[in-house]
Amino acid sequence: MNDRISRDELAARVAADIPDGAYVNLGIGAPTRVADFLPAEREIVLHTENGLLGMGPAPAAGAVDPDLVNAGKQAVTEVAGAAYFHHADSFAMMRGGHLDVCVLGAFQVAENGDLANWSTGGEGAIPAVGGAMDLAIGAKSVYVMTDLLTRAGEPKLVRACSYPLTGVRCVTRVYTDRAVFDVTERGFAVRELFGTATVAELEELTGLSFVTAEGAAA
Amino acid sequence: MNDRISRDELAARVAADIPDGAYVNLGIGAPTRVADFLPAEREIVLHTENGLLGMGPAPAAGAVDPDLVNAGKQAVTEVAGAAYFHHADSFAMMRGGHLDVCVLGAFQVAENGDLANWSTGGEGAIPAVGGAMDLAIGAKSVYVMTDLLTRAGEPKLVRACSYPLTGVRCVTRVYTDRAVFDVTERGFAVRELFGTATVAELEELTGLSFVTAEGAAA
Amino acid sequence: MIDKTWPDAASAVACVEDGATVMIGGFGRSGQPVELIDALIAHGARELTIVNNNAGNGDTGLAALIAAGRVRKIVCSFPRQADSWVFDERYRSGRIELELVPQGNLAERIRAAGAGIGGFYTPTGVGTLLAEGAELRTIGGRDHVLQFPLHADVALIGALAADRWGNLVYRRTARNFGPVMATAARTTIAQVDAVVPLGQLDPEAVVTPGIYVDRVVVVGERPWLREGRFVGGVDIDGHPIADETQEAVR
Amino acid sequence: MIDKTWPDAASAVACVEDGATVMIGGFGRSGQPVELIDALIAHGARELTIVNNNAGNGDTGLAALIAAGRVRKIVCSFPRQADSWVFDERYRSGRIELELVPQGNLAERIRAAGAGIGGFYTPTGVGTLLAEGAELRTIGGRDHVLQFPLHADVALIGALAADRWGNLVYRRTARNFGPVMATAARTTIAQVDAVVPLGQLDPEAVVTPGIYVDRVVVVGERPWLREGRFVGGVDIDGHPIADETQEAVR
């Protein structure tokens, strides 16, 4: 058995935690994939910040509508029960605390819940933030979905973010390819381990000490 | 010839100054009557703060719609080209400076343009302000329509308001039953006299000194 | 599955606790959710703070709630009306507290609560009694006062139609405060003429997305409509008019 | 009589002066008023400050305006995209200034300008680089930063249909920034597929009331519609697709 789950398995794992009736925003990139794994028996309403509540999957070939896109500018569809609104109304919805869950990618998450996901601060890099800062402060639960380590092997769970912050103390839970972590008052708590990973191994990989989560599956 | 014009003549006089294409809010009470005298050849769009742009006259008997009222809660109609919106959007329109003209009643107008029209400050009186303060600061031109004197003979044009203010330095022009006054940097300017009234008589009635208006008709 | 329809008004409003802040939609009688208010009276919650543009009309709806002695305080812009005798009497006898707010500040403070705005600066009310105590700030050469959001525990609003997701459409100026109040309360309860199948409301014309609505109560079609078409035959208060009295209607 | 229709895009945008602040609607290509932008390029106004969510896509529309060297500064939330090479090159060579704003602050600052709000407090961006220099205030135990309104000289927006009063309806997520930008500019110019007779737009479904619109330019029906019905047959950029390439569309 592998010590990591695949990107699709991770998306499915996040999807499994989203309850029936939830209003959810999926960030651009990997989080968008969560939509493909939402349990069919649950009605979950997807929000896209460019002005739609009730977003459906990608259209069939030939039925692409350039007037109907998601936050990543990809073609999507509307479901029965959808509603359109303008950008200020859309962000009022996000910032006013009405979304139950948002799922975001991350460069780093700190053990106090700080999130860095919009800029590596590199010289010559072009910064782009979009709606990430609004989701980070606005959603009732902020889930991060990411690999535990970068391709270079650096941990993304850290004591304090070195990259520019997206939001302060905003992350609720981190879904990684090796484990699920809750952000608690005392730091990261291992909620669930995947495959052969052990807490000791994850502590060594990240250089952090984890606390035991209440109701953790591992 | 009388030295005062009637309420209807005054309403017609105000209406004559509203240009084609203007967006206009008529306050509750006497200003509402201005709608009846808008020149038929002009398209003037009436706003009511309870959420309608494109308000029409009272409906025919039997066609009263309790869902279609003006700011005074009277039955009105919609005209072709109308649009409905909610209260926050309606007041954003008013406060954002988009209305060309509002016409308000007044208890007092001071020569610096201060307006008092919502409370006489009397003991036991129940205060009510509605949208007057928003119109006073929001419309491009704030017209006041009133008798020059109260029934008790007190002037409504004053050096400084003694009643609680609605807005500070907000009035553009005052239409009274005896004359039309512009509010200028140097005080009230007589723009037009009605009937037999003279500037000297009006100065005696109000105890004020008036300046000569640019382009005054009198 | 999402189904926000509720069997009746009584059970829908049973969540209102003593001391709650309750926003009630409507502008005068227009859009006032009378059936929900009647249920709130029957429910019996006391010491309420009510947010509404007015302070009741005649003897029904909000006026009846006030008459029943359930309202400790009212936050509104225009209490004094020709038919506000219930409020007038209680106010004059010192049995109800009044917070008078310019109508635009009322609407914008409600919106701010729903939109996560911590406060905003407005020129409305500067230099008046209604801005006394408010923090003043000059921005771009113009004086503004700082206003804070107005939140509620529960909002009771009236709309024309809903679907089971709680998407709402309104009718004409009865829309008024409903859409913003729906965003500002922890629990929003809407009374509607009818619930239509999901997908039947035009997504371009939904005014309140269902995310803002928790409970929907069907109260039947308003008397001046028949199968969605305006038929009239009522006075401005919504009461049927006999033919001989139609002349009196303006 | 009110008639806001304008004979063509060229004359409609002739009011844009050098150094103007111009809001341009759209989210990426969706809702971007390409015909108005093309007219602005031909008009030749220089040293523009552009407010848009992005910084251009491909080589058309806003990207072409930037490529023509007309943009001194851009205020946006998300410049870096897969197809933002025109902006990227100018930014890296120091020939365009960037003010990066969180998307919600961008939308709310534009709304504030239209709504007469002098400033507002928001938690968005607190503790981040994008709130550096912003005034901090703790409200209700939560940190907020003060944001100021964003006004424009001219707004160029895209809508589906208008009437001669300038009332606008939009189509799906192409609505995006259009309605708020229309409120925040001294002159708002809308390009639309068609102008319909006054009274034909449903008053309950008008999104932008005509008071916010100064000039309307008809540009003809978008390629993926026919007589108002969606017919598809285009890629996400709106270009016709041959049958054999349809498989590549996601």
Check A83 against C210: CB less than 8 A apart.
yes
Residue A170: CA atoms inside 13 Å, Cβ hemisphere, count? 35
Check B126 against C80: CB less than 8 A apart.
yes
Q: Is B43 helix (H, G, I), strand (E, B) or coil?
A: coil
Which of D159, B95, A55 is CA-nearest to residue C125? B95
Distance CA C168, CA C179 (A): 9
Predicted confidence (pLDDT) at residue B215 exceeds the cutoff of 60:
no
Residues of chain B neighbouring C31 (CB-CB closer than 8 A): 67
Which of D54, D138, D131 is CA-nearest to residue A167? D131
**Domain segments of chain C as ranges:** 9-118+150-249
Check D171 against C116: CB less than 8 A apart.
no
**Any idea what the Cα angle at residue C114 is, between residues C110 and C115, rounded to 5°?**
110
**Looking at chain A, which residue has its C-alpha nearest residue C167?**
A81
For residue A213, what pLDDT is reported? 58
Phi, psi of B197 (to 5 degrees): -60, 145
Domain A7-212 adopts which CATH fold? Glutaconate Coenzyme A-transferase (3.40.1080)
**Looking at chain B, which residue has its C-alpha nearest residue D111?**
B92
Spatial contact of C210 and A47, defined as CB atoms under 8 Å apart? no
**Domain segments of chain B as ranges:** 7-212
Is residue A49 part of the annotated active site? The answer reads yes
Question: Could you tell me the pLDDT band of residue B197, with boundaries at 50, 70 and 90?
Answer: confident
Summarised one tens digit per residue, pLDDT across range A81-98 is: 999 999 999 999 999 999
C202 touches chain A (CB under 8 A): no
For residue B174, what pLDDT is reported? 98
What are the angstrom distances between the C-alpha of C100 and each of B105, B118, B214, C130, D144?
20, 12, 40, 7, 27
Strand partners of residue C147? C120
Over the range B182-217, which residues count as b (16 or more CB within 10 Å of their CB) and which as e? Answer: bbbeebbbbbbbbeebeeeebeebbebebbebeebe
Q: Is D192 helix (H, G, I), strand (E, B) or coil?
A: strand
Write the burial class of residue A200 (CB in 10 Å: 0-12 exposed, 13-18 middle, 19+ buried). exposed
Q: Is C232 helix (H, G, I), strand (E, B) or coil?
A: coil
A36 touches chain D (CB under 8 A): no
Spatial contact of C155 and C189, defined as CB atoms under 8 Å apart? yes
Write the burial class of residue D44 (CB in 10 Å: 0-12 exposed, 13-18 middle, 19+ buried). exposed
Question: Could you tell me the pLDDT band of residue A197, with boundaries at 50, 70 and 90?
Answer: confident
CB interface of C with B, residues 120-179, below 8 Å: 122-130, 143, 170-179
Q: Is A170 helix (H, G, I), strand (E, B) or coil?
A: coil
For residue D248, what pLDDT is reported? 45
Check C116 against A138: CB less than 8 A apart.
yes
Strand-pair category, C168-169 with C152-162 = antiparallel
- Tabulate helix, strand, coil % of chain C (nearest 5): 25, 30, 45
The DSSP result for B68-117, as a single string, is: -B-TTS-B-EEEEEEEE--HHHHHHHHHTT--SEEEE--SEEETTS-EE-
The DSSP result for D6-49, as a single string, is: -S-HHHHGGGPPTT-EEEE--BTTBT--HHHHHHHHHHT--SEE
Summarised one tens digit per residue, pLDDT across range A143-152 is: 999 999 999 9
For residue B121, what pLDDT is reported? 84
Domain C9-118+150-249 adopts which CATH fold? Glutaconate Coenzyme A-transferase (3.40.1080)
Predicted confidence (pLDDT) at residue D161 exceeds the cutoff of 70:
yes
Check A98 against C1: CB less than 8 A apart.
no
Number of CB atoms found within 10 A of residue B61's CB: 15
For residue B2, what pLDDT is reported? 73
Check D118 against C108: CB less than 8 A apart.
no
CB interface of C with B, residues 21-40, below 8 Å: 27-31
Distance CA A70, CA A95 (A): 18
> Terminus-to-terminus CA distance in chain B, angstroms?
16
Record the tokens describing residue D121, joined without a space.
């407090």
Strand-pair category, A179-184 with A187-193 = antiparallel
Residues of chain C neighbouring B92 (CB-CB closer than 8 A): 108
Distance CA D86, CA D95 (A): 11
Summarised one tens digit per residue, pLDDT across range B57-105 is: 999 989 999 999 999 999 999 999 999 999 999 999 999 999 999 999 9
Distance CA B116, CA D208 (A): 33
D204 touches chain C (CB under 8 A): yes
Interface test with D, best of B41, B43, B133, B135 (most D CBs within 10 A): B43
C231 touches chain A (CB under 8 A): no
Find the mean pLDDT for residues A43-53. 98
Mean pLDDT of chain D: 96
CA A48 and chain centroid, separation: 14
pTM of the model: 0.97
Predicted confidence (pLDDT) at residue D246 exceeds the cutoff of 80:
no
ipTM above 0.90, yes or no: yes
Question: Could you tell me the pLDDT band of residue B123, with boundaries at 50, 70 and 90?
Answer: confident
Distance CA D155, CA D160 (A): 16
Which residues of B are known catalytic residues? Answer: 49
